[in-house]
Amino acid sequence: MRVLVLLGAPGAGKGTQAAILAQRLGLPHVATGDLFRAAVRAGTSLGREAQKYMALGELVPDAITVAMLLERLDRPDAREGVVLDGFPRNRAQAEALESALLTRGERVELALLIDVPAEELVGRLSGRYVCRLGGHPYHIIENPPAIPGICDTDGSPLEQRDDDRPETVRARLTVQLAPLQGVIEFYRSRGVLRTVDGRQPIALVSRGLIEALEPVTPHL
Ligand code: AMP
């Protein structure tokens, strides 16, 4: 099983790049934010619980998040591996993932950090739109759709995420940047961290990520 982790602050471009990489590698793109949003839409008890934290820009408690993620890894389509996006978000989650993988004789192959300076993130998040159906991400300037307001992939309307409004954006960055640093240090200490400059255009960031993967995946 190949487990690749995409790391980055909110707005760094994890979702966009995870989708590209997952397609390239033929692995499912597993985003805990998407799983939570689907649970919120479905009105499940998990969704109701998660929503309380998401609305404040805080992290959903580890017990809930880790259980949801491990359940997802057990699904048949994840047998060959996954591209993880938005998980782990703190050191405790990284440790929980490590021990769960260890019981299967596996480990995180690489953790790819998309590095964007904190001061750029607010602008990126406030210009972000996602489609209603599939959550495909766009940016009003950096990555606009062909037809304004409509998703290129599935034709559904684009909307702003509730937590991309300016009040929540600041809270998310305040709350989430420090734990992300803990995750970065965790993977650095395991020798699997690779960093790509996230200020480049989307195609160049993808190229950087693929180059980082080449030593472990030749002929990509
Ligand atoms: P994202 O789409 O990755 O920005 O996630 C949206 C929101 O879902 C976050 O602001 C958190 O409230 C919650 N969330 C997503 N992934 C995690 C995680 N690994 N741990 C805790 N909360 C998470």
- Atom 12 of ligand 1: nearest residue by CA position: 54
Cα separation, 174 vs 196, whole angstroms: 23
Provide the whole-model pTM: 0.92
Band of pLDDT at residue 219, cut at 50, 70 and 90 = low
Beta carbon of 124 within 6 Å of any ligand 1 atom: no
- By DSSP bridging, strand 2-7 and strand 108-115 are parallel
- Give the pLDDT band (50/70/90) at residue 24: very high
Kindly state the DSSP code that residue 6 receives in the 8-state scheme: E
Residue 125, SS3?
helix
What band does 186 get if pLDDT is binned at 50, 70 and 90? very high
| Residue keyed to tokens 């405790």 | 92
Amino acid sitting at position 12: A
Q: Name the CATH superfamily, with its identifier, for domain 2-126+165-216.
A: P-loop containing nucleotide triphosphate hydrolases (3.40.50.300)
Find residue 84's DSSP bridge partners: 5, 30
Question: Hey, where are the domains in the chain?
Answer: 2-126+165-216
What is the position in ligand 1's atom list of the atom closest to the CA of 32? Answer: 16
Q: What are phi and psi of 139, to 5 degrees?
A: -130, 135
Structure-token pair, residue 56: 């404040």
Considering the chain, what percentage of its residues have pLDDT values greater than 90?
Answer: 88
